Amino acid sequence: MSTNNGQCSVVFNKMEFESIISSAKNSAESKTVLPILTTFLIEVNGARYSVKATDLENYVRIEGSPETTNQQCTVCVNSKKLIDIVKTLPATTLTMTLVEDNTGKGSYVQIQSGRSKFKLTLADASEFPAFPTIEEGMISNGILGAMLLEGLERTDYATAKDTTNPVLTGVYASFKNNNGKPLVEFASTDGSRLTVFKKYYPQDEQHVNINDVSFTIPKKTIKILKDLVNQTAWINIYYKPGGSFLVFEDKVSGWTLFSRLLEGEFPDYTMYIDQIERPIVAKAPTRDLKDFIKRLSVTVEGSVIPIKLTFADNVLVGETYDRELTEGKDEIDIEYTGSAFVVELNAKYLKDTIDYAPTDYVNISTDDPLNGILVSCGNLEEDGFYYASLIMPFG
């Protein structure tokens, strides 16, 4: 710990401090060959303090206001131990004090709250990785926290878990000015399914100047954002083509997240979603379809649940089976009057799609069952959003 005058004792609001370090923990490594990545760098500068954490892919800085405003110091401590200690503290405030150890064992930090007192050894703050900065020339777009969270929530379930193409492990985001009517699109794919969510900015936010830009948000960054982003907050996003980092910032709450960009080009999803006519269309109640899949899935264990779907005259028949010859069969009423057709796919993919559908009914369409089915809802021009997931069949 370094100080400006050889000593430092800072009082923190326990609730605020616990919230900050809990949000920062997802950027710190729990197991690593570099012990410094398991630490928080806490910097106190008068009326503000910041907590920094990084895994060298994500760098997060979160600011707060200490109860004492006349101290300047820096401390580097184990993130997990600090979180575990602070969570147990009984009082509404805690005091962090540098203790100079004259026994030759080194200095340490004492944390005290009420009658509780803990001692934490220090890491060398000079070894903590340097943080990136918001570079000159970065393109800036703003988005309401609720829109960002919704877009990520409705698409990140379909990202690839393990692939030779790293860009498929994240969610693609595309901002479009769209002739003064700002639009944001999110897309993800694991090769067996492709999910897209499009949404216009709300009417009261359509005055915002949006720059046409697109990038892919890494999977771990999404997890961090879900902890950081407040739904009512305004999030600034900075991006530079050819740059190293994507930057998210909430100036009011006082946090900044630098995310290392993934390498590779995200596939052109529009050719699969927007450019194919699918004249065979059925309409199904979302709740009935969700319960239908849930009932049939109990007969099969594992992440792959083969299901045979038969679309007939106003009825959908589902059949499942496993290696032990356990079988299930069920049906629900739907709106469909065309020729009967059959498609076999992974019921888990269909369940995920329905779980994140934002409407009471979904359309299920295809041009040929061998090309999969498109589950969709919403009309971009009439409803302000569009959600779709293309699910490929087995075989």
106 — pLDDT class (breaks 50, 70, 90): low
On the 0-12 / 13-18 / 19+ scale of CB atoms within 10 A, 217 is buried
pTM value is 0.92
pLDDT at 43 > cutoff 50? yes
Q: Could you read off the pLDDT of 221-243 as tens digits, one per residue?
A: 999 999 999 999 999 999 999 89
Neighbours of 374 (CB within 10 A): 23
Q: What is the pLDDT of residue 322?
A: 77
Q: What is the pLDDT of residue 54?
A: 97
Q: What is the pLDDT of residue 4?
A: 47
Buried b or exposed e, range 229-264, using 16+ CB within 10 angstroms: beeebbbebbbbeebebbbbbbeebebbbbbbbbee
Structure tokens, 245 = 């980092």
Q: What percentage of residues in the chain have a pLDDT greater than 70?
A: 95
Domain ranges of the chain: 2-127, 139-248+259-269, 276-391
Q: Could you read off the pLDDT of 319-338 as tens digits, one per residue?
A: 998 766 778 999 999 999 99
Neighbours of 45 (CB within 10 A): 15
100 — pLDDT class (breaks 50, 70, 90): confident
Looking only at the bridges linking them, the beta strands covering 373-377 and 361-366 are antiparallel
Architecture of the domain defined by 276-391: Roll (3.10)
Mean pLDDT of 15-19: 97
Q: What is the pLDDT of residue 321?
A: 82
Q: What percentage of residues in the chain have a pLDDT greater than 90?
A: 81
pLDDT at 252 > cutoff 70? yes
Q: Could you read off the pLDDT of 113-138 as tens digits, one per residue?
A: 999 999 999 999 999 999 999 998 99
Please identify which residue in the block is written with the tokens 């009932």.
295
Question: What is the rounded distance in angstroms from the CA atom of residue 23 to the CA atom of residue 62?
Answer: 8
Q: Is the CA virtual torsion 61, 66, 69, 71 positive or negative?
A: negative
**Strand (E) positions, 35-104?**
39-45, 48-54, 58-64, 72-78, 93-99
Q: Could you read off the pLDDT of 52-95 as tens digits, one per residue?
A: 999 999 999 999 999 988 889 999 999 999 999 999 999 999 99
pLDDT at 285 > cutoff 50? yes
Would you say the CATH fold of 276-391 matches that of 139-248+259-269?
A: yes
**Helix, strand, coil % (nearest 5) of the chain?**
25, 40, 35
Residue 299: strand, helix, or coil: coil
pLDDT at 395 > cutoff 60? no
What is the DSSP secondary-structure string of 269-296? Answer: THHHHTS----EEEEEEHHHHHHHHHHH
355 — pLDDT class (breaks 50, 70, 90): very high
CATH class of 139-248+259-269: alpha beta
Q: What is the mean pLDDT of the chain?
A: 92
350 — pLDDT class (breaks 50, 70, 90): very high
CATH 3.10.150.10 fits 2-127, yes or no: yes
